[in-house]
């Protein structure tokens, strides 16, 4: 049974069975991106924040390093709106209950397979073609394009790291006019096997050390690579945008008000798999009333 604690006015803590969730306002300049962002998505979020005049949900960060685990685009958007702080949910990243997965690229469109291969070669990417079976692919993922008929192009480059190769391969797909969607590993493979997708780009596994290193060094991963799964996350903190842009009020005072407002509100606990605001959450959620 999760419970909350109020012993620190500087943070609101939800004590879940598997990990503690620490809610507070963090200075934006302390937070570290670990992935690149998509400009159009950042612009879209800026418009949404201005329309709603509030930030509804906290971003997820690593307590120790302040590397952002989920919420890269929201941070970029709020920086663009001259915010100085943001609500965060800080967690112990090394907790084994936190899993890091990846996003596959699901591709569809008119270009033929020969055109795709030619575009890859023109961009300096090499590939090895072979057939795949679903079981071996799941156990040993690599950077590759999988086609609906079972052919697979394992991508490689003599001069590029794996994620630089990913950037270039995705750029090739978009330049050919292919539609690129981001799907979980399971959904992408199932859609391919069931012929609901023409091709997918599979990514290799990634570990927490690589995520942290990207954030701490500034050598960012491509956009939409990592997908973090946590046992639970809070939603609906609903802090006014003007609070986050206020420069005259000390952060400590704003944070105390934020924590006090959360303490005065109730929470609803929803099970994993619930659909909230049109989105399905794989983890449990704590929604502030």
* CATH code for the domain in which residue 152 is found: 3.30.1760.10
265: domain CATH number is 3.90.1530.10
Mean pLDDT of 81-86: 96
Domain boundary among 209, 240, 272: 209
Residue 285 is inside which H or E element, if any?
strand 284-288
What value does the mean pLDDT of the chain take? 92
Give me the pLDDT at residue 2, please.
54
Beta carbons within 10 angstroms of residue 204's beta carbon: 13
Query: Looking at the structure, do residues 31 and 105 belong to the same domain, yes or no?
Result: no
Same domain membership, residue 94 and residue 17: yes
Q: Are residues 145 and 176 in contact, defined by beta-carbon separation less than 8 angstroms? A: no
Q: Is the pLDDT of residue 1 over 70?
A: no
CA distance 89 to 84: 17
How would you classify residue 92: left for phi > 0, otherwise alpha for psi between -120 and 50, otherwise beta?
beta
216 in any annotated domain: no
For position 32, what pLDDT does the model report?
98
Tens-digit pLDDT profile for residues 26-66: 999 999 999 999 999 999 999 999 999 999 999 999 999 99
Phi and psi torsions of 126, nearest 5° = -105, 160
> How many residues can be counted in the chain?
289
Alpha carbons 24 and 13: distance in angstroms, whole number: 9
pLDDT over 50 at 247, yes or no = yes
Question: How far is it, in rounded angstroms, from Cα 60 to Cα 120?
Answer: 36
Q: For residue 7, what pLDDT is reported?
A: 44
CB 55 within 8 A of CB 49: yes
Q: Across-strand partners of 70?
A: 60
- 37, 221 contact by CB (below 8 A): no
Give residue 57's domain range: 3-98+230-288
Distant-in-sequence, close-in-space partners of 174: CB < 8 Å, separation ≥ 6:
180
Domain count, the chain: 2
The answer to whether residue 220 sits within a structural domain is no
Same domain? For 235 and 201 the reply is: no
| Residue 238 in domain | yes
Same domain, 52 and 128: no
If asked whether residues 133 and 147 sit together in one domain, one would say: yes
Contact between 86 and 59 (Cβ < 8 Å) = yes
Identify whether residues 204 and 241 lie together within a single domain.
Answer: no
Asked if 61 and 7 sit in the same domain, the reply is yes
In the block, residue with structure tokens 């942290």: 212
Q: Indicate whether 16 belongs to any domain.
A: yes
User: Do residue 56 and residue 138 come from a single domain?
Assistant: no
Residue spans of beta strands (DSSP E) within 109-231: 126-131, 144-147, 151-156, 179-184, 199-202, 226-229
Q: How many CB atoms lie within 10 A of CB 127?
A: 19
Examine the domain organization and report whether 90 and 121 are in the same domain. no
Least confident of 47-51, 223-227, 267-271, 274-278: 274-278
Kindly state whether residue 124 falls inside one of the protein's structural domains: yes
Phi–psi pair at 231, nearest 5 degrees: -65, -30
**Is 29 in a helix, a strand, or coil?**
helix
Same domain, 104 and 194: yes
Residue 70: its pLDDT value, please? Answer: 96
């Amino acid at each position: 049974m999760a419970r909350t604690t109020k012993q620190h006015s500087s943070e609101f803590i939800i004590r879940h069975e598997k990990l503690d969730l620490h809610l507070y306002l963090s200075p934006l300049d302390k937070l570290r991106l670990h992935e690149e962002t998509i400009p159009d998505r950042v612009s879209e979020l800026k418009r949404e924040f201005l329309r709603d005049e509030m930030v509804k949900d906290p971003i997820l960060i690593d307590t120790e390093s302040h590397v952002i685990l989920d919420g890269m685009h929201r941070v970029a958007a709020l920086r663009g709106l001259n915010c100085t702080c943001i609500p965060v949910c800080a967690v112990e990243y090394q907790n084994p209950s936190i899993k890091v997965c990846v996003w596959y690229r699901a591709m569809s469109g008119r270009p033929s397979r020969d055109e795709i291969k030619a575009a890859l070669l023109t961009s300096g990417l090499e590939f090895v073609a072979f057939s795949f079976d679903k079981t071996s692919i799941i156990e040993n993922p690599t950077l590759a394009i999988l086609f609906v008929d079972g052919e697979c192009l394992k991508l490689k480059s003599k001069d590029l790291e794996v994620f630089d190769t990913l950037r270039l391969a995705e750029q090739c797909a978009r330049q050919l006019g292919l539609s690129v969607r981001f799907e979980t590993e399971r959904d992408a493979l199932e859609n391919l096997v069931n012929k609901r997708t023409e091709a997918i780009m599979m990514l290799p596994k990634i570990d927490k050390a690589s995520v942290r290193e990207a954030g701490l060094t500034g050598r960012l991963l491509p956009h939409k690579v990592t997908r973090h799964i946590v046992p639970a996350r809070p939603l609906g903190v609903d802090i006014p945008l003007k609070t986050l842009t206020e420069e005259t009020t000390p952060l400590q005072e704003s944070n105390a008000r934020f924590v006090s407002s959360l303490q005065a509100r109730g929470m609803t606990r929803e099970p994993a798999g619930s659909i909230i605001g049109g989105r399905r959450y794989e983890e449990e959620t704590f929604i502030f009333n």
